[in-house]
Chains A and B, each alone.
Chain A
Amino acid sequence: MADTNRGLVQGKTGPWEMVIGLEVHAQVISESKLFSGAATGFGAAPNSQVSLVDAAMPGMLPVLNGHSVAQAVKTGLALNAEINLTSVFERKNYFYPDLPQGYQISQYLQPIVGEGTIELDLPDGSTKEVGIERLHMEQDAGKSLHDQHPTMTYIDLNRSGVTLMEIVSKPDMGSAEEAAAYIAKLRSILRYLGTCDGNMEEGSLRCDVNLSMRRPGAALGTRTETKNVNSIRFVKLAIEYEAKRQVQVLEDGGRVVQETRLFDADRGVTRPMRSKEEAHDYRYFPDPDLLPLVLDPDWVEEIRKELPELPDARKARFVDDFGLSPYDAGVLVAERETADFYETVVTSESGKRDPKLAANWLTGEFFGALNRSGIALAEAPVDAKKLGGLIDLIADGTISGRIAKEVFDTMWESGKPAAAIVADQGLKQISDTGAIEAIVAQVIAASPKQVEQFKAGNENILGWFVGQVMKASQGQANPGLVNRVLRAKLS
């Protein structure tokens, strides 16, 4: 366990270390549920995606979805983890209205996936390896709506029975930043695999934060669990609040109570969950309606062979093959669609485009336009081919970088390709030395005072001259050439 990287919280009496473990519940992408044939889509009318099995009617029995198993195995392999060829479904028994059976079918002593690792990309460009403890499959619960009626809670079982992968990390993280990086990387991997869409707002990725505080180098303290945090930002806030709270308790001579808490997003605090006040005895036992799950090693190998290139590997390849900085490569590979888009731009039919130029344009102007428009990459009016076309015109000097920005904006609004816009608006960069000399001569003739200043030793006035030439040429003069000609004429 990498203890050396832990961030420290300064308390009244000295520094404290955070010990953080994360349990992520990821909803598996599948047509139907883990043990029933009902649909899994988000946002359907209440109880319209509920089978008799999901509603736990008398006499109902579970039947395992083979695709859910494959998704879990795929995810385990991508986390460099052990696949347990024999695993067992167990019942976790407790009462709650969104748990119709009165038990959740989960895995306890023998999960489908064992220990693995995940590499975090930290903001300073460094990486850190964090351990995965296990991954198991379990049923999701339904939804309780507490705010629809003054005295009643409404229950919708649409989500009840959807396949969840519970991914448990080792307590290797030491700061809110590391926790955020963990979730970001895990989410990225899941989206690359197509095993979970990682949509935290819709609840397809939820995070439980286990946190305890200790003096550097001391034994582990008592931890609390903050459940169902549904954004990376909230995870960071919850960690920061909870760390401070625990330090305060400990420095006041108290003891941290091992309990389950909720993050209250409105007030930015964690507080104990009322319904979990009593200690739970889940009385796990193997589900007698299901036999042990036995996997064929050849089948697992087939899945391994078909794994897509994952973010870390892709990032390394972008650094090696395209000469990008690890940071830039990291930004491009975070989302698979972005990385795919980028590679399409770089590897055109006519040959490789400048990877750094392409990277700058994608992460700069393009991402900017996407954010302003509030749309997803797949909906962008400028596709990879069109962006490539624009980059080609910059690379061969047809237009300057500055003009390219205007062209891009027009491409975004009109959907037209760059070449057409440049032609229509006559935006070709003027690189004809003769034409530039003519404009420079005009500007020099019209500005005797500034010429004097230049000759008197004011180098900075050159910029003013460049600006005047650019204005006179409607910005189409090749700036590099303008500079050279001006210097020549003014000397």
Chain B
Amino acid sequence: MAPVASGLTDLTIAEARDALAKGTLSARELTEAQIAAVEAARPLNAFITETAEQALEMAEASDARRRAGAAGALEGIPLAIKDLFCTEGVPTTAGSHILDGFKPPYESTVTAKLWAQGAVMLGKTNLDEFAMGSSNMTSYYGPVESPWRRPGDDRPLVPGGSSGGSAAAVAARAALGAIGTDTGGSIRQPAAFCGIVGMKPTYGRCSRWGVVAFASSLDQPGPLTRSVRDAAIMLGAMAGHDPKDSTSVDTPVPDYEAALSGDVRGLKIGIPKEYRLDGTPPEIEALWRQGIDWLRHAGAEIRDISLPHSSYALPTYYIIAPAEASSNLARYDGVRYGLRVPGADLTEMYENTRGEGFGAEVKRRVLIGTYVLSAGYYDAYYNKARQVRSLILRDFTDAFGEVDAILTPTAPSEAFAAGEKMDDPIAMYLNDVFTVPASLAGLPGISVPAGLSANGLPLGLHLIGRAFDEATVLKVAGVLEQAAGFDAKPQFVAGGR
């Protein structure tokens, strides 16, 4: 395949921003290079819809704006958008058959904010169906392949999920950055598997309006990028109060880039003992200890903390998320949009449409959710889960009385091969063991690529912060990034390495 023009696709957002500002690069050139990369990356199946024509139009408009003296925070930056965000006039599938043909007549708040800051849309990325999964194996549009391979092993690997397409695209240099959603780890875990940065902001930081809902009390949009600085830049553009979302919080958006001082002296970093699990590979434990050392050397104080109810986080999540999802997905009924499979009467039409339109994992979760909410079980499951969730939040609130950030591994393994862990849903659910607690507590979390496994695959470290303290989370992440010096590239880079 033809090499891509002069490494443009390897730039970070910050670097591209500088070049564009200096005028050494035009938005059109950058987008053209990126479009070629998107095409080159097709074997990964990271994109469901490519929007090359629209991207070029947006890039032209960006250059025109710049000539007129205006430039937004993401002016001319080509981004990939998880296909869970409704984008006006552009097919939006949620990775599902049931949204066949659906073209939203509206734009999600978060993507509208990106375009208002001058960004360019490359396309809609692949994902686990309705954001339910940790491997991007459940999409109706086929699995996404990670750009990483084990050297000498040609089995495709999973990019993680559910934002697998976004993570793969960024890692493969098919986009400078991407957005995804994180409900139990769906940005952070694929970021770790793909060796990039992925952040879940505080619940309520970014608007959910126009994001296809999975679990309303957990879903949160966030950035996937190749550097912590890029994540800070994107978060600044994405965050903010939205009166159309009643769970969106009206609190000012700080200058996240300015928070990247690199100075963590005196900050207290908590190490939760309950996150030491039997069965975590020793190299991940080792990387965690390495992360602790890095921060200690940078002047942070390390404290052991306890988050006593951590082991109950996953089952709590797998009651609450499916319950909310079972209700959120009731609107997919073949009446007003998407797939309709005919039936002898209305009930059959519903049952056929949803039976054919939803994949196996979605069906499982909708049925679990329906069950735990049903008469006789509400108290034992759903209400109980909400109580445990209160306890988990209390654990964090207590811990943050002692420390300013918490450090854990992101995932309990490196990326696994496509098709593995598919026999037992619970094995798949365990991928999120380190990321789910922060989701339940609504706290910000970030994954930073910190090292490579013995198999040469990326491993991430995970930081959790106080509510609306993304600034501290990004600051500590920046220090980890600096110390780790992770510069490995995947085996597959669009347009060649």
Residues of A at under 8 Å CB distance from B? 52, 55-64, 91, 93, 95, 97, 100-103, 153, 155, 281, 283-285, 288-291
A290-B336 contact in complex given A59-B209, A285-B378, C-beta closer than 8 Å:
no
B418-446 interface code vs A (CB 8 A; 1 in, 0 out): 00000000000000000000000000000
Task: Please state if A63 and B102 are interface contacts (CB–CB under 8 Å).
Answer: no
Q: Shortest 8 CB-CB distances between A and B: which pairs?
A: A102-B330, A283-B373, A288-B216, A288-B217, A59-B210, A56-B331, A58-B212, A281-B375
Chain B residues contacting A95 (CB-CB under 8 Å) are 330, 333, 350
A59-B211 contact in complex given A93-B373, A283-B374, C-beta closer than 8 Å:
yes
Residues of B at under 8 Å CB distance from A? 85-86, 92, 94, 99, 102, 104-106, 108, 208-213, 215-217, 243-247, 323-324, 326-327, 329-331, 333, 335-337, 346, 350, 370, 373-375, 378, 382
Chain B residues contacting A283 (CB-CB under 8 Å) are 326-327, 370, 373-375, 378
What is the chain A residue whose CB lies nearest that of B242? A61
Chain B residues contacting A61 (CB-CB under 8 Å) are 208-209, 244-247
A62-B331 contact in complex given A283-B370, A285-B378, C-beta closer than 8 Å:
no
Chain A residues contacting B102 (CB-CB under 8 Å) are 58
A93-B324 contact in complex given A57-B337, A59-B210, A291-B246, C-beta closer than 8 Å:
no
Q: What are 19 A-B residue pairs whose CB atoms fall within 8 Å in the complex?
A: A57-B86, A57-B106, A58-B92, A58-B337, A59-B85, A60-B209, A61-B247, A91-B327, A95-B333, A97-B335, A101-B330, A101-B331, A103-B330, A283-B327, A283-B378, A288-B215, A288-B216, A288-B324, A290-B246
Chain B residues contacting A153 (CB-CB under 8 Å) are 346
Task: Please state if A52 and B245 are interface contacts (CB–CB under 8 Å).
Answer: no
Q: In terms of DSSP, what is the predominant structure of the interface of chain A?
A: loop
Q: How far, in Å, is A172 (CB) from chain B's closest CB?
A: 28
Cα A284 to Cα B372 in complex, Å, equals 11
Task: Please state if A285 and B336 are interface contacts (CB–CB under 8 Å).
Answer: no
Task: Please state if B244 and A63 are interface contacts (CB–CB under 8 Å).
Answer: yes
Task: Please state if A102 and B331 are interface contacts (CB–CB under 8 Å).
Answer: yes
Q: How far, in Å, is A279 (CB) from chain B's closest CB?
A: 9
Q: How far, in Å, is A290 (CB) from chain B's closest CB?
A: 6
Q: How far, in Å, is A137 (CB) from chain B's closest CB?
A: 15
Task: Please state if B373 and A63 are interface contacts (CB–CB under 8 Å).
Answer: no
Chain A residues contacting B99 (CB-CB under 8 Å) are 58
Cα A170 to Cα B124 in complex, Å, equals 55
Chain A residues contacting B375 (CB-CB under 8 Å) are 281, 283
Task: Please state if A93 and B244 are interface contacts (CB–CB under 8 Å).
Answer: no
Chain A residues contacting B217 (CB-CB under 8 Å) are 288
Chain B residues contacting A55 (CB-CB under 8 Å) are 336
A56-B336 contact in complex given A93-B327, A291-B246, A291-B247, C-beta closer than 8 Å:
yes
Cα A98 to Cα B130 in complex, Å, equals 24
Cα A63 to Cα B243 in complex, Å, equals 8
Cα A52 to Cα B88 in complex, Å, equals 13
Chain B residues contacting A101 (CB-CB under 8 Å) are 330-331
Taking a contact as CB atoms closer than 8 A, the residue among A59, A64, A155, A285 that contacts B86 in the complex is A59
Chain A residues contacting B378 (CB-CB under 8 Å) are 283-285
Cα A153 to Cα B102 in complex, Å, equals 22
Chain B residues contacting A56 (CB-CB under 8 Å) are 331, 336
Cα A63 to Cα B248 in complex, Å, equals 11
Task: Please state if B216 and A97 are interface contacts (CB–CB under 8 Å).
Answer: no
Chain A residues contacting B382 (CB-CB under 8 Å) are 285
Q: How far, in Å, is B313 (CB) from chain A's closest CB?
A: 18
Task: Please state if B333 and A58 are interface contacts (CB–CB under 8 Å).
Answer: no
Chain A residues contacting B215 (CB-CB under 8 Å) are 288
Taking a contact as CB atoms closer than 8 A, the residue among A58, A93, A285, A289 that contacts B330 in the complex is A93
Q: How far, in Å, is A27 (CB) from chain B's closest CB?
A: 23
Task: Please state if A58 and B245 are interface contacts (CB–CB under 8 Å).
Answer: no
What is the chain B residue whose CB lies nearest that of A95? B350
Q: How far, in Å, is B127 (CB) from chain A's closest CB?
A: 14
Q: How far, in Å, is A371 (CB) from chain B's closest CB?
A: 44
Task: Please state if B336 and A58 are interface contacts (CB–CB under 8 Å).
Answer: no
Taking a contact as CB atoms closer than 8 A, the residue among A62, A102, A155 that contacts B327 in the complex is A102
Taking a contact as CB atoms closer than 8 A, the residue among B208, B243, B324 that contacts A59 in the complex is B208
Cα A285 to Cα B213 in complex, Å, equals 16
Chain A residues contacting B350 (CB-CB under 8 Å) are 95
Chain B residues contacting A102 (CB-CB under 8 Å) are 327, 329-331, 333
Cα A60 to Cα B245 in complex, Å, equals 9
Cα A85 to Cα B320 in complex, Å, equals 27
A100-B331 contact in complex given A61-B244, A285-B373, C-beta closer than 8 Å:
yes
Task: Please state if B216 and A289 are interface contacts (CB–CB under 8 Å).
Answer: yes
Q: How far, in Å, is A298 (CB) from chain B's closest CB?
A: 23
Task: Please state if B336 and A100 are interface contacts (CB–CB under 8 Å).
Answer: yes
Cα A155 to Cα B335 in complex, Å, equals 9
What is the chain A residue whose CB lies nearest that of B109? A59
Cα A63 to Cα B244 in complex, Å, equals 6
Chain B residues contacting A52 (CB-CB under 8 Å) are 105-106
Cα A95 to Cα B104 in complex, Å, equals 23
Q: How far, in Å, is B379 (CB) from chain A's closest CB?
A: 11
Q: How far, in Å, is B26 (CB) from chain A's closest CB?
A: 34
Q: How far, in Å, is B115 (CB) from chain A's closest CB?
A: 16
Chain B residues contacting A288 (CB-CB under 8 Å) are 215-217, 247, 324
Chain B residues contacting A60 (CB-CB under 8 Å) are 209-210
What is the chain A residue whose CB lies nearest that of B209? A61
Cα A57 to Cα B246 in complex, Å, equals 17
A59, A101, A291 interface centre (most CB from chain B within 10 Å)? A59
Q: How far, in Å, is A403 (CB) from chain B's closest CB?
A: 66
Cα A289 to Cα B218 in complex, Å, equals 10
Task: Please state if B94 and A58 are interface contacts (CB–CB under 8 Å).
Answer: yes
Taking a contact as CB atoms closer than 8 A, the residue among B106, B108, B246, B373 that contacts A62 in the complex is B246
Task: Please state if A58 and B327 are interface contacts (CB–CB under 8 Å).
Answer: no
Q: How far, in Å, is A252 (CB) from chain B's closest CB?
A: 32
Q: How far, in Å, is A122 (CB) from chain B's closest CB?
A: 40
Taking a contact as CB atoms closer than 8 A, the residue among B86, B104, B246, B329 that contacts A63 in the complex is B246
What is the chain A residue whose CB lies nearest that of B346? A97
Q: How far, in Å, is A308 (CB) from chain B's closest CB?
A: 32
Cα A453 to Cα B326 in complex, Å, equals 96
Task: Please state if A64 and B324 are interface contacts (CB–CB under 8 Å).
Answer: no
Cα A93 to Cα B416 in complex, Å, equals 38
Chain B residues contacting A57 (CB-CB under 8 Å) are 86, 104, 106, 336-337
Taking a contact as CB atoms closer than 8 A, the residue among B243, B323, B331, B370 that contacts A58 in the complex is B331
B99, B331, B337 interface centre (most CB from chain A within 10 Å)? B331
Chain A residues contacting B92 (CB-CB under 8 Å) are 58
Q: A102-B329, A283-B370 are in contact. List 18 more A-B contacts (CB 8 A).
A: A57-B336, A58-B86, A58-B102, A58-B213, A59-B85, A59-B210, A61-B208, A63-B244, A63-B246, A93-B330, A95-B333, A97-B333, A100-B336, A103-B330, A155-B335, A283-B373, A285-B327, A289-B216
Q: How far, in Å, is B388 (CB) from chain A's closest CB?
A: 16
What is the chain A residue whose CB lies nearest that of B247? A289
What is the chain A residue whose CB lies nearest that of B215? A288
What is the chain A residue whose CB lies nearest that of B349? A97
Chain A residues contacting B247 (CB-CB under 8 Å) are 61, 288-291
What is the chain B residue whose CB lies nearest that of A92? B327
What is the chain A residue whose CB lies nearest that of B382? A285
Chain A residues contacting B216 (CB-CB under 8 Å) are 288-289
